[in-house]
Every structure is written in C-alpha cells, then in structure tokens.
C-alpha cells in the first residue's frame, strides 16, 4: 500500500469518526431549536385564544348580560368565543388545533376524547404542573401538543358550573341540567389543548443535518485534495526520484545524475546525505579499481 493511500485512509477514518461523534450533538441541538420554534407557535396561538376569552368577558359579557338572562347567548361565554374564533382561524391554518376539553363539559362538543382525558387526568394528578408536552397523532399527522390545565380559580365560575339551580334559567334551558355542573374551586376541570404539526419541524431538522454533513464533507474533500497535492509535491515526488536514483546506482549505473532536493526539511537533508553517500561509494569503488 502506497504512502498516499495510507495517508488518505487515515484521514478518511479520522473524518468519519469526527463526523460520527459530532452528528448526534448536532441533531440534538437542531431538534431542540425546532421544538422551541413549535413552542413559540403554541405560545402565540394560546395568547390569541386568551385574548379572545378576555375580550368576551370584558367587552361582550357586560353588554349582553341582561339579554342573556332572558335568552342565553353562548357568544357571551369566553370558552365558546375562543373555540369558535379558533375554528375560523383553522379556515386559514387547518393543521393547528385548539380545544378546551373538559371531563364533564357544559357543551358535549367539549368532552375530552380518550387521549385528551389521559392528559387531563395527568394534570389533575399533578396540580403543580404548569403544562404538559406530548406528541399526538391527529388526522394521521404527528403533532406537538401542549396541554395547559383549566383550573377554577374564581368563585364566579361556580354560578354556572356548580349546581343547575344556581345557574341562569336561560342557560339551563339551553344546555340542560345534566352536564357541566359539580365543578369545585381550585379543581382542574379540563385543559386547553393546543397542537401544531411536527412535519415542518422534522423537515427542518433533517435539512439542517443534511447541510451539516454536506458542508463538512465538502470542506473535508477540499482539504484532502490540498493535502494530497502538498504530500505529492513535498514528500512522494522527491522520495520517488531518490528511490529511482538509488535503484539505478545499486544496479551499477554510475551515469545517473544526482538529485538534490532544495530546502532545509528532512527530505532535503536525506537527499544531501544520499548524494554524499553515493560520492563516498564512488570514490571507494575507484580506489578499489586502482
Ligand atoms: C354565565 C354562565 C357561565 C359562567 C359564569 C362561566 N361559564 Fe363556563 N361555560 C358556560 C357555558 C354555557 C359553557 C358552554 C359554552 C359552549 O357552548 O361552548 C361554558 C363552557 C366552559 C368551558 C368549556 C368546557 C365546557 O364546559 O363546555 C370551560 C373550560 C369553562 N366554561 C370555564 C369557565 C370558567 C373558568 C369560568 C370562570 C372564570 C366560567 N366558565 C364561567 C357558562 C358559564
């Protein structure tokens, strides 16, 4: 095996080891960044929903309170307006999901499905948990899902959510007296569940990884070519010439020209030593011939 091949194999092995060692941390970093991006999308969606909720309770509810006591208007309920406006929002971005799911909801449409129920139970078991992150398959697509507990912190909520006789008659007339009652103060009755699709984030992770492997390979190849040129110029070519000269001399060819490699490096000093040795050999031979 030639010097050049050995050298190239060693460098390629070093490169592959280096790539192997750095690819996992790089994958972790780009995954973390992608998750942070998904979380910031969730934060924006949640802020949007909370703003609609607040607008409803501060602006709409007081305005329609009187009317609601005669004919109940779901439009005055923050949960209704937040979810309705999100449904409109999904007309633009159908891949995002928002739900205020409850174990015992006033509106049956808000009843938690199996996996939602599990998330709510988890939050109920850990009241200190501010949010829970999970990955759910919705519409055959993997989603990054964040669940925030819905806790009854305000006594005023219990007017409509404790017993049917405390709730406005107009509301009971519309929703019945079975669902959405019996909630307690400080109880986690449900959760805000927000989901954004994973595939865009996954795509960017693999793109980053491809870019990382691609650029480092190009840099490595350029360095490899450069090193090969230098290796050839400073080591292989002079050593080959010296080997040829040595070969010719050893075969008794005294006519071959001396090869002196200029400079002060090891190869140059080897070529000088070799020439000196050859001259000594020549004169020794001449002395013997006399
Ligand atoms: C005036 C009565 C009323 C009050 C007060 C009220 N709610 Fe509701 N709430 C409702 C009605 C009616 C619905 C069902 C709306 C719909 O059709 O989506 C509802 C729905 C909800 C839902 C969605 C799950 C479900 O039950 O369908 C949550 C969560 C909720 N309310 C939380 C609260 C909280 C928290 C408070 C106190 C800050 C509160 N509510 C105060 C009437 C009320």
Least confident of 184-188, 190-194, 200-204: 200-204
| For residue 16, pLDDT beyond 80 | yes
Residue nearest to atom 19 of ligand 1 (CA): 106
When pLDDT is averaged across residues 183-193 and rounded to a whole number, the result is 97
Is 29:22 a contact under the CB 8 Å cutoff?
Answer: no
d(CA 273, CA 276): 5
Indicate whether residue 116 lines ligand 1 (CB < 6 A): no
* DSSP codes of every residue in 69-107: HHS--GGGSHHHHHHHHHHHHTTT-TT-EEEEEESS-SS
Residue nearest to atom 12 of ligand 1 (CA): 74
pLDDT band at 2 (very low <50, low <70, confident <90, very high): confident
Q: What is the mean pLDDT of the chain?
A: 94
pLDDT band at 30 (very low <50, low <70, confident <90, very high): very high
Indicate whether residue 183 lines ligand 1 (CB < 6 A): no
Indicate whether residue 164 lines ligand 1 (CB < 6 A): no
Indicate whether residue 217 lines ligand 1 (CB < 6 A): no
| For residue 178, pLDDT beyond 80 | yes
Backbone angles phi, psi at 153, to 5 degrees: -105, -15
**Residue to probe by mutation, ligand 1, list 78, 79, 110, 156, most atoms within 8 Å of CB:** 79
* DSSP codes of every residue in 259-274: ----SSSHHHHHHHHH
When pLDDT is averaged across residues 185-208 and rounded to a whole number, the result is 95
**What does CATH list as the number for 206-289?**
1.10.8.500
Indicate whether residue 106 lines ligand 1 (CB < 6 A): yes
Is 275:260 a contact under the CB 8 Å cutoff?
Answer: yes
How many angstroms is it from 134 CA to the middle of ligand 1?
Answer: 26
How many angstroms is it from 146 CA to the middle of ligand 1?
Answer: 21
How many angstroms is it from 142 CA to the middle of ligand 1?
Answer: 30
Which pLDDT score, from 0 to 100, does residue 1 have?
Answer: 81
Indicate whether residue 102 lines ligand 1 (CB < 6 A): yes
pLDDT band at 252 (very low <50, low <70, confident <90, very high): confident
Higher pLDDT, 101 or 245: 101
Of residues 127, 110, 118, the one with CA closest to residue 184? 127
Given the structure tokens 């200190």, which residue do they identify? 128
How many angstroms is it from 76 CA to the middle of ligand 1?
Answer: 10
- Global pTM? 0.82
Which pLDDT score, from 0 to 100, does residue 149 have?
Answer: 98
How many angstroms is it from 9 CA to the middle of ligand 1?
Answer: 70
Q: pLDDT tens, 80-127?
A: 999 999 999 999 999 999 999 999 999 999 999 999 999 999 999 999
**Residue to probe by mutation, ligand 1, list 68, 77, 175, most atoms within 8 Å of CB:** 77
Of residues 160, 168, 164, 161, the one with CA closest to residue 184? 161
When pLDDT is averaged across residues 232-238 and rounded to a whole number, the result is 92
How many angstroms is it from 129 CA to the middle of ligand 1?
Answer: 22
pLDDT band at 146 (very low <50, low <70, confident <90, very high): very high
Q: pLDDT tens, 151-170?
A: 999 999 999 999 999 999 99
Least confident of 86-90, 131-135, 272-276: 272-276
Q: pLDDT tens, 33-70?
A: 999 999 999 999 999 999 999 999 999 999 998 888 88
How many angstroms is it from 159 CA to the middle of ligand 1?
Answer: 10
Cβ within 8 Å of residue 82, ≥6 positions away: 49, 50, 52, 53, 56, 98, 100
pLDDT band at 281 (very low <50, low <70, confident <90, very high): confident
Domain with CATH 1.10.8.500 in the chain: 206-289
What is the rounded (10 degree) CA torsion for 262, 266, 272, 273? 180
Token digits of residue 122: 């988890």
Which pLDDT score, from 0 to 100, does residue 108 have?
Answer: 96
Q: pLDDT tens, 212-222?
A: 999 999 999 99
Helix extents (H) in the chain: 3-55, 61-70, 78-89, 114-125, 158-161, 169-175, 199-231, 237-250, 266-289
């Amino acid at each position: 095996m030639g010097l050049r091949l050995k050298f190239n194999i060693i460098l390629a092995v070093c490169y592959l080891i280096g790539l192997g060692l750095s690819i996992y941390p790089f994958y972790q970093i780009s995954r973390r960044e992608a998750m942070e991006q998904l979380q910031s999308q969730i934060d924006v969606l949640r802020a949007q929903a909370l703003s609609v909720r607040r607008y409803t309770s501060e602006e709409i509810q007081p305005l329609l309170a009187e009317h609601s006591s005669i004919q109940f208007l779901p439009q005055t309920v923050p949960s209704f307006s937040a979810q309705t406006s999100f449904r409109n929002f999904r007309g633009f971005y159908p891949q995002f999901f928002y739900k205020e799911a409850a174990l015992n909801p006033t509106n049956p449409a808000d009843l938690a499905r199996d996996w939602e129920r599990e998330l709510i139970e988890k939050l109920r078991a850990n009241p200190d948990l501010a949010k829970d992150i999970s990955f759910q398959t919705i519409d055959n697509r993997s989603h990054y899902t964040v669940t925030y507990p819905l806790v009854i912190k305000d006594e005023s909520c219990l007017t409509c959510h404790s017993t049917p006789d405390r709730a406005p008659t107009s509301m009971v007339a519309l929703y019945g007296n079975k669902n959405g009652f019996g909630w307690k103060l400080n109880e986690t009755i449900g959760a805000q569940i927000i989901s954004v699709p994973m595939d865009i984030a996954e795509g960017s992770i693999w793109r980053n990884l491809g870019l990382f492997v691609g650029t480092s390979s190009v840099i490595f190849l350029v360095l490899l070519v450069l090193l090969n040129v230098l290796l050839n110029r400073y080591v292989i070519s002079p050593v080959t010439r010296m080997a040829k000269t040595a070969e010719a001399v050893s075969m008794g060819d005294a006519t071959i020209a001396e090869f002196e490699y200029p400079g002060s490096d090891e190869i140059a000093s080897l070529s000088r030593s070799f020439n000196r040795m050859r001259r000594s050999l020549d004169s020794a031979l001449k002395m013997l011939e006399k």
